[in-house]
Amino acid sequence: MGMITGGELVARTLVDLGVTHAFGVHGGHLDPLLTALDRLGVTLVDTRHEAAAGNAAEGYARATGGLGVAFATSGPGFTNAYAALANAFIDRIPVLLLTSSPPLREAELNVLQGGLDQVAAARTVAKWAHRATTAARLPDLVALAVRHATTGVPGPAVLDIPIDVMYRQIDEAVATKPSLTMPTPPAPARAAVRRMVELLRASRRPVFILGGGAALSPGTRPALEALLDRVRFPVVTTSWGHGQLSPGHPCALGGSGALAALPFLAERPDLFVLLGARRGISLGARTGSMIPPGTPVIHVDVDGVEPGRVGEVELSVVADVGETIHALATVADELPGWDAWNAATRAAVGAHAMMFADAPTVTPSGRLHPYHVARELTGALEDDAVVVFDGGETAGWISFFARAHRPRSWFGLGMMGGLGVGQGFAIGAQCARPGAQVVLVTGDGGVGFHLQEFDTMARHQLPVTTVVYNNLSWGMSLHGQQAIYGEKTSVAVELPDTRYDHIAAAMGLHAERVTDLDQVGPALRRARESGRSACLDVTIAPDVIHPMMAPLTADLPDGAIRVPYYEAIPAGEG
């Protein structure tokens, strides 16, 4: 053994843990780490902004179901990455951010980038954050950070390695030897399985709802398919849980919108089984539009705090989703089967089409109807495609047609609602699945946050196709504002008719503007055939309002206060 730097100790440990990609922006503080990662064969994807790098690590984690790694230098590098940490934290995505800071020996001396306690700041948006104080302990600290990020309730971990610790050379013999063994996922208790069986046997119309927790459990899809081979029941997928069943599977009901349609097109469910799906924005929150009050709920989650956060729960199970479904499969002979109910629920599949059956393809504005564009776009996707969505109403339009053929291949905005995450997500997803078609669908508002990442895609030869829903506005903001203040109101919500295709072409991308509906599919195929990063600027009508905005125009009880995006405030509530 010889002398080794702290940065190389970190790099070796990451490689031993199976890391193959890292995303970030260069900073001199990080050079011992970056040069070692490069020498050890790790692919370094240098983005143009640290927020995009953090988003790319999250996109990589979402697409693989494993860990995403990002790096950001001290001070402004860390603060730029902060928004990405918050997004991963709220959506429970396993990300490791490696950052640096001024020398420990120069604390409180007003040195460059030394005025911020990065660890204290990180702890508000990370599961775990720590500053290394000695190079010898870096291997076990890296392994500890990865365990924090990936086990239990997943989320981001931050390891701050001061520059003197990063550059310090030590005798390799004194460095710690990390444990690289990861725990097996938690299985449900036998008593919990027995109670689930009891509740299911008493149910005539159950619905299973799979969310992000199902996506992060590698055993979910095979276990679910095995269970459905023996007993049929309708399955809804929410958040980024799509792809646990093929779109054509006879039990695949679609997204959460189908839950709202069931009482009108079939019957109201009498039992909801939530598997890694958190109640809130994606399941109607407290409105009862999807899960009516009084209907029994079984909630399975790795976090025992989550069941009961919104509404009552009949049974709370703290366990991994795949392990829970596997446990149910072992007692499938005790379940009654719900073939007739499952067949009846098929009426809700694609029910959104009824709302737009008579909608013109081109509106009076002369621009294309967003619903029809989403239909044509998704109809032209390859089966193996990864779809990333970004933007407000844009995400809503494309989500009508969520039809992932494999897990972790359809995702975007989560509960943070942070526009601009899409470019990074798509970069990470393309690195995770190099041969797959990766399509980012974003609004003209969302794409503006990180336009410079077109350059990252081109430099790293990542054939992401970005589809811009160009409706000349921050659409959700415009429509929300007009719903409350009147149709003539438009304050800080309009955008010019920017030619995003021209911007992309200047950065070396294949680029087209699409103004005809019948060209949406062919343009997507041309982008794919180009083998290059691509941008399609689609002219979208600004005057079409997504149904998600309907609550802003619904009648309210006397004295209630209407607010955008959230429940109305009841009269008399303090």
pLDDT tens sequence across 94-129: 999 999 999 988 888 888 888 899 999 999 999 999
Is position 11 within any domain?
yes
Question: Is 113 a residue of the active site?
Answer: yes
Is position 562 within any domain?
no
Amino acid at 277: A
Place of tokens 């596997």: 326
> Catalytic one among 6, 7, 27, 50?
50
Partner residues linked to 22 by β-bridges: 44
Residue 139 pLDDT more than 90?
yes
Sign of the alpha-carbon dihedral angle for 62, 536, 23, 91: negative
**560 or 229, greater pLDDT:** 229
Nearest to 267 by CA among 354, 313, 204: 204
Mean pLDDT in residue range 12-35: 97
The pLDDT confidence band at residue 574, using thresholds 50, 70 and 90, is low
330 and 367: one domain? no
165 and 301: one domain? no
Is position 564 within any domain?
no
pLDDT tens sequence across 334-345: 999 899 999 999
pLDDT at residue 337, rounded to an integer: 85
373 and 277: one domain? no
221 and 306: one domain? yes
Residue 418 pLDDT more than 90?
no
224 and 259: one domain? yes
> Catalytic one among 21, 29, 148, 546?
29
Domain end, chosen from 146, 174, 202, is at: 174
Question: Is 29 a residue of the active site?
Answer: yes
What is the CB neighbour count within 10 angstroms for residue 30?
25
For residue 223, give both structure tokens.
């276990």
> Contact at 8 Å (CB) between 68 and 58?
yes
385 and 510: one domain? yes
341 and 367: one domain? no
pLDDT at residue 41, rounded to an integer: 98
The pLDDT confidence band at residue 244, using thresholds 50, 70 and 90, is very high
Mean pLDDT in residue range 490-497: 93
Is position 185 within any domain?
no
**485 or 539, greater pLDDT:** 539
338 and 365: one domain? no
Partner residues linked to 236 by β-bridges: 209, 254
How does the average pLDDT of the chain come out, rounded? 94
Mean pLDDT in residue range 545-557: 81
- Residue 309, domain CATH: 3.40.50.1220
pLDDT tens sequence across 362-403: 999 999 999 999 999 999 999 999 999 998 899 999 999 998
Question: Whole-angstrom Cα distance, residue 327 to residue 227?
Answer: 10
Is position 296 within any domain?
yes
Question: Whole-angstrom Cα distance, residue 515 to residue 367?
Answer: 7
Mean pLDDT in residue range 399-421: 90
- The CA distances from residue 204 to 190, 207, 317, 339, 349, in Å, are 23, 10, 21, 10, 20
Domain end, chosen from 319, 351, 383, is at: 351
Is position 68 within any domain?
yes
301 and 369: one domain? no
534 and 394: one domain? yes
Residue 267 pLDDT more than 80?
yes
pLDDT at residue 482, rounded to an integer: 85
pLDDT at residue 93, rounded to an integer: 97
pLDDT at residue 108, rounded to an integer: 85
Amino acid at 490: S
Percent residues over pLDDT 90 in the chain: 80
- Residue 446, domain CATH: 3.40.50.970
329 and 414: one domain? no
> Catalytic one among 280, 350, 417, 508?
417
Mean pLDDT in residue range 50-62: 98
239 and 334: one domain? yes
Domain range spanning residue 528? 359-549
Number of domains in the chain: 3
Domain end, chosen from 351, 383, 413, is at: 351
